[in-house]
Amino acid sequence: MKSAIIKSLFATVLLIFVSNFNLQSQPADNRDKMREMVKYLSSDELKGRFPGTDGIEKAAAYIEEQFQSIGLKKFANSYRQEFDVTTALKAGDDNNVIFETIIQRPGIPVEKLPRAKQNWVVNQDFVPLAFSDNKQVYGEIAFVGFGISAPELKYDDYEGIDVKGKIVLLISENPDKDKKDSPFLQYSSLRYKATNARNKGAIGMIMVKIQGDSMNVFERLEYSNIGKNSGIVAIQAWRQSLSKFFPKNKLLIELENNIVKNKKPESFILPNVFVSIKTDLQDVKSSTSNILGYVEGTDTKLKDEFIVVGAHYDHLGYGGPTSMKGHGGRPQVHNGADDNASGVVSMIEIAQKFMQNPPKRSVIFVSFSAEEMGLLGSVHFVNNAPIEIDKITSMINLDMVGRMKKNELTVFGTSSSNAFDSIIDSLDLSDTVAVTKASDAYGPSDHASFVTKNIPVLMFFTGIHEDYHKPSDDWDKINYQGMIWATDYIYSVVNTLANTESRPSFQRTSIGEAPKRRTDREQGYGEVWFGIIPNFEEHPLGCKISGSTPGSPADKAGLVADDIIVQIDDANIKNLYDFMYKVRSHKAGDVLNVHILRGKDYKEKVELKVTLVTKTK
């Protein structure tokens, strides 16, 4: 017995040792390898991997090396699919502002009165604003306070003043100044003020900063791809340079203080002053690349069908409009360890597993660029796919799989094919991951570019966290054991899809209920749901969409992919911001007359009626 006891004791110790060995040594190696890869991709050296920078180029070369070393096949002899993106804006040489002041002389008819001209100097007296149209305008100046029309607050800076064909002059922020919970907050952005001014008929906009610490700070020319095509010429003026054009009895500072104190507009036309404004903004284009390779399937028939496994490798660089770091402070590298170095590394691991054990169907591995800029890399891929798009049987997206909490792994998109639920349920790896299924297939990541092409999609995600889109999204916060478990699970899903005879059929199902309300100040459409899937590629004609969320008001009205919204009721819609401000000014139950362009060369003009519904609490 004793010996039996010693033997069994020995066996137990051996068992523990072996399993530990299996658990510790091999995962440890894998963990170390994954850590080193995430560490490099999210290192300060790569400067947050912003498209068009040398930092992202290093990341691209690194991913190519990985593809090369595991032996992935190339399309067209290259792992790269290059495309251009606008990465910045710069002021051209042709920005100019000329003020004309009529010099009063008694007894001389107005048209004969002399005019004093004053040329402003760019970057000294004024700067063009990033969303300005490139055009020249000339006209009278209408001071319109904060440029806000808030009917529910019984406040309208445009009441009783006609600004058609004029240039409006307005103050930044709102009459509550920097009050955190002000009801004016949603009217504080310059984009809203530009859309409002244009819809009132103004041809130009001069913004002056509200009194305060940053009143003498010029806005940076920050490129935002949903912001262009504003339909108005817009500049920021230096407060001191501008205030001298106000009449002595109506000084800018007094007007501002009155509005803030009384919450009452003080709008009027500046007497005897005209201004000519010419703006010249130039897009800075950069070339960037999707990195792709594939494992050829083993089955003579199925190898001609492809599963796409994708993970974007770009990130925010030093911040920009979608940084959650908050304004002010020096720009910092947004390392993007979880978003999305984790997805890239997990994808490379999965590619390696398939190279060692190729499945029946072929699998394409693609690391997209410019996802943070509006899915530009995946949109480019689906519009320029290396194979016929209908040969793609499904798309599996990995975006943020590095911060697993309590073994939880979420998979979105299960409603996009009736094959997915049973596959997910059959692959129960519950001793490592607890999988949560989410039906919505239209989320804000690269799979959205595929589902709008009627391709079944799944997106894997380990959850949002406090470092999301911040410089603190670092490699040492990654749960590497969780990444291994997620990788193994995702591999098993893809492997099942790649070896199953039939391809998953696409189904366009309603996501059921309206999405949750958004809290953040600017973005989001307030309390109501319209249901378009925005397309982040600019279009000169208006607000182009990538589709409608199934079951949404837009879907029920018949809006489809590539439609361009140009007008809603009497409001012109030139871009996504115009669309957002118009929709959120309405309430559930309102029926909107939506004018769209579609068809060849967008020659077809159609009017659709969209009935808004409430967003879910």
Which spans of this chain sit near Zn ion (rule: CB under 5 A)? 339-340, 399
Provide, rounded to whole angstroms, the least separation between the CB of residue 449 and Zn ion: 13
What is the nearest approach in angstroms of Zn ion to the Cβ of residue 130? 24
Angle at 244 between CA 242 and CA 249, to 5 degrees: 120
Smallest distance, Å, CB 438 to Zn ion?
Answer: 16
Residue with smaller CB distance to Zn ion, 149 or 340: 340
Closer CB to Zn ion, residue 399 or residue 473? Answer: 399
CA angle centred on 463, ends 359 and 222, rounded to 5°: 105
Strand partners, 292: 366
Instruction: Give the nearest distance from C-beta 520 to Zn ion in angstroms.
Output: 17
In contact, 424 and 504? CB cutoff 8 Å:
no
Q: What are the C-alpha distances in Å from 477 to residues 24, 63, 228, 336, 530?
A: 20, 22, 37, 11, 37
Q: Smallest distance from the beta carbon of 465 to Zn ion, in angstroms?
A: 13
Q: Which is nearer to Zn ion, 236 or 462 (CB)?
A: 462
Annotate 306-372 with DSSP letters as a single string.
EEEEE------TT--TT-SS-SSS-------IIIIIIHHHHHHHHHHHHHHS--SSEEEEEE-S-ST
Phi, psi of 415, deg, nearest 5: -80, -10
Q: What is the sign of the dihedral through the CA atoms of 250, 256, 258 and 263?
A: positive
Amino acid at 308: V
Of residues 339 and 563, the one with the C-beta less far from Zn ion: 339
| Whether the Cβ atoms of residue 499 and residue 360 lie closer than 8 Å to each other | yes
CB 451 within 8 A of CB 416: yes
CA end-to-end span of the chain, whole Å? Answer: 67
Nearer to Zn ion, 156 or 399 (CB): 399
Q: What are the residues facing 1 on neighbouring strands?
A: none
Q: Give whichever of 174 and 340 is closer to Zn ion, judged by the CB atom.
A: 340
Shortest reach from residue 475's CB to Zn ion, in Å:
16
By the 8 A CB rule, do 365 and 347 touch?
yes
Strands 281-295 and 604-611: unpaired
Our CB check for Zn ion shows the closer of 410 and 510 to be: 410
Report in angstroms how near the CB of residue 64 gets to Zn ion at its nearest.
20
Q: What is the DSSP letter of 213?
A: G
Least CB distance to Zn ion at residue 229 (A): 26
Residue nearer to Zn ion on the CB measure, 336 or 542 = 336
Q: Which is nearer to Zn ion, 467 or 578 (CB)?
A: 467
CA 79 to chain centre: 26
Q: How far is the CB of 219 from Zn ion (least distance, A)?
A: 27
